[in-house]
Structure 1
């Protein structure tokens, strides 16, 4: 092939253009769109009398991070295959910003005698040491400017986060206007509703289906998914906290859209390690892994086997087994019995200080922690003193958070207590909420029956969990059903109630 600056015949030219997401950080031309780059390169090719045979574009691809640029690789392939005679770019930093890439590019171009011309820097002679040095310096200079400006922006964003300031991001946060500060009432209401649904025991997939069925989209105009909803519900932004690189760094300038107690409850539920997070159809039965085997202590799982007449027998099984319908009916009656016949309203008002008092105390502790950090920065206290102060305050904070979570337990029983027909309300709940109610109220153990015997209600132990029994007052409970822990008496009451 002939060198373009020697031959006067029409040579085949390839234009390479690129713009990356770091366009705000770089030098002049970094923010230049690919269309403008292509136009300038085309004008250069026309002046030189070259025929442009292909334009290679890499949109949103950085030349600094080492990630694959598909069209750049395709350009190298065209050069190796002898399909082009000259490369035209707007600036050398469009091609590369690392010496490794420059060396590879120079090797490929020199092997095929393909020169490089730029709009801003003229002809780059990659055959000579001086030319390669100039190209390398231009690329490294561009890389330095990008990294240096990135450092300044990172420091700026960190300080903004510490000061509680909102910064403009590509995606508007759900529940807020574009400025990130002004609350968007309709979305904020949906955010609070979704938080309360999780606290009441509803599953994320069910909440997603509800949002999508009502045409409520994300701020990217997409339907809600398990991942996007979970991420949104766990944002510290929801309670007016500012975050930098995943860490809460202080109070923000915007107001909270979710009460802190409800947020902490939701956070505890969604980050519980035992929570099922693997893809699948989810639980299909009320007592899966809630009812325990009386022989080995493991959770019962649903199963099926044929009866003698060939009809399916659906059961919970482990070392023991029970008819699914009968066991679920027994437990459902126990739920209705507890929520109907006893002073169940106590479940809505646990013996804790008012939420507002707890929130005020929590804010005071946060202020003390900030004051301690400022004192350390001003060298008024030592690191050992700061550590001791922070540790003490963290312990108090954890106790307050536990109280706030306990205050929000009432959400589990929302719509079930002090209603005309508890059974009707119970039947209307989703399976996820029913499971949460049962798991909150009871410890259920299915006992072995013995060879040749028929399982009855007496072989199922249903006990109130300690924290629930404490709230309901066991003395009142005993007057209703006698010695509640005795499964035979419990079964008799349930049968009488039904």
Structure 2
């Protein structure tokens, strides 16, 4: 016997239990001895199923091929399969091994005749078509919900009350603090450990993991955007859709969080070899040739010149400690002199959005054909997205961290990428001169530095 239901949200297997009883009644009426029961609960059988594998179904076919039984009983044809290709495997199973099939409600197709096989194939085709129609209806429903900005049904999103519309004050405060910490350079794994220590769980009651927290903090939902199929939903007017809920973060803060969690590797002027472990990568340079120095993992980790013609090296620990001390002392009176960029594309953005609205309106009114409208729409959408991206980057830069508040404790909590970013913000370069005396004692006089903007060491 084979039983299956596509969806069992409660996990109680009541559907397959009912199927089994119906199948046992059929077996009793038919004089069959039940030798095995195979069950795939909460598992679909169509090409649209979220779970593609059916381990019990596969095991049943293997044991049928081994000759352990000669009849397979199911509640209906669609419980066995909704895929025409799998039906062909069932037909081959009958032709090669003589295994017959019986169902409670779909009848018994005679696979020994062409007409019987035709009927079975028609049923499989109808089942597959019904699945596709259902999938299309569900897809249309989800699309309409997205265009209207309705919350997604299902698991309660962290930060909101059940229903996903009103904020949960405590969780929203945690998200806002996490955003400030991430912008200041604290990693998502550190925040996750802190939340777990404080007893904060996900909305499903699980402990936090760094990658899960990082993914949540990059969800546009936090800034009030409706998501559809992994990206911000686009409404009928061609504009991004705002969700029917109160956002946790403003757009500038959200963009700054995303930028902090995805640091661009273009900030440094040199490749970032081994950069995950060494904060001076990108800033430390050889005092002989000017080449970049990289950290090397060894019994005694060292920064070494990348030019193999000569050997200039310094121990990682003392160098990091020296530069960190310089950095923290400098922060008390150091300010970045780079002026904050201003977005000057507002007029261009408004013009592109007006052109888009006019084109879509002309198509809707049947004044212009799709062949004319949509190539132009694609070009305008690309321009709009580029200008919006520029606007968000500039706004996010204005929400950057105030490094003047960084102390030793804050430095210790920072992620390695944030430490490197702060080093690169304050220093143009840190030079390591060759050793002038033998021995393993660190000589601080070998280290020279230039502050950002070309200010000499003091």
Offset, 1:299: 4.4
Superposition pairs for residues 1-400 of structure 1, below 5 Å?
15-21=1-7, 33-65=15-47, 67-169=52-154, 171-248=155-232, 249=234, 250-272=241-263, 274=265, 283-294=276-287, 295=289, 297-303=291-297, 314-318=301-305, 319=307, 320-342=312-334, 344=335, 351=340, 371=357, 374-375=360-361, 377-378=363-364, 382=373, 386=377, 390=381, 393-400=384-391
Offset, 1:19: 1.7
RMSD across aligned positions (CA): 3.7
Scaled by the length of structure 2, what TM-score is found? Answer: 0.79
Cα 1:151–1:315 change in 2 (3 A) is: same
- Counterparts of 2:348 and 2:125, CA distance in 1: 50
Count of residues paired in the alignment: 422
Corresponding residue to 2:448 among 438, 460, 463: 460
Offset, 1:265: 1.4
Offset, 1:141: 0.7
Query: 1:315-365: per-residue Cα shift (whole Å, max 9, x none)?
Result: 3222532233442233223223322234x4x78x96567xxx99x999979
**Segment of structure 1 superposing worse, 159-168 or 314-323:** 314-323
SS of aligned partner of 2:3: strand
Query: 1:114-163: per-residue Cα shift (whole Å, max 9, x none)?
Result: 32111112222221222211221112111101101111211221122122
Give the 4+ runs in structure 1 shifted more than 6 A.
360-367, 450-454
Offset, 1:285: 4.6
Cα 1:125–1:285 change in 2 (3 A) is: same
Cα 1:146–1:393 change in 2 (3 A) is: closer
The question of whether the paired residues in 2 share the 8 Å contact of 1:286 and 1:431 is answered with no
- Counterparts of 1:271 and 1:103, CA distance in 2: 49
- Counterparts of 2:188 and 2:55, CA distance in 1: 37
The question of whether the paired residues in 2 share the 8 Å contact of 1:304 and 1:314 is answered with yes
SS of aligned partner of 1:97: coil
The question of whether the paired residues in 2 share the 8 Å contact of 1:165 and 1:252 is answered with yes
Structure 1 unaligned spans of 5+: 1-14, 24-30, 276-280, 306-312, 417-421, 467-483, 494-498
SS of aligned partner of 1:408: coil
- Counterparts of 2:253 and 2:162, CA distance in 1: 25
SS of aligned partner of 1:253: coil
The question of whether the paired residues in 2 share the 8 Å contact of 1:322 and 1:455 is answered with no
Query: 1:401-421: per-residue Cα shift (whole Å, max 9, x none)?
Result: 122111111x252743xxxxx
The question of whether the paired residues in 1 share the 8 Å contact of 2:23 and 2:104 is answered with yes
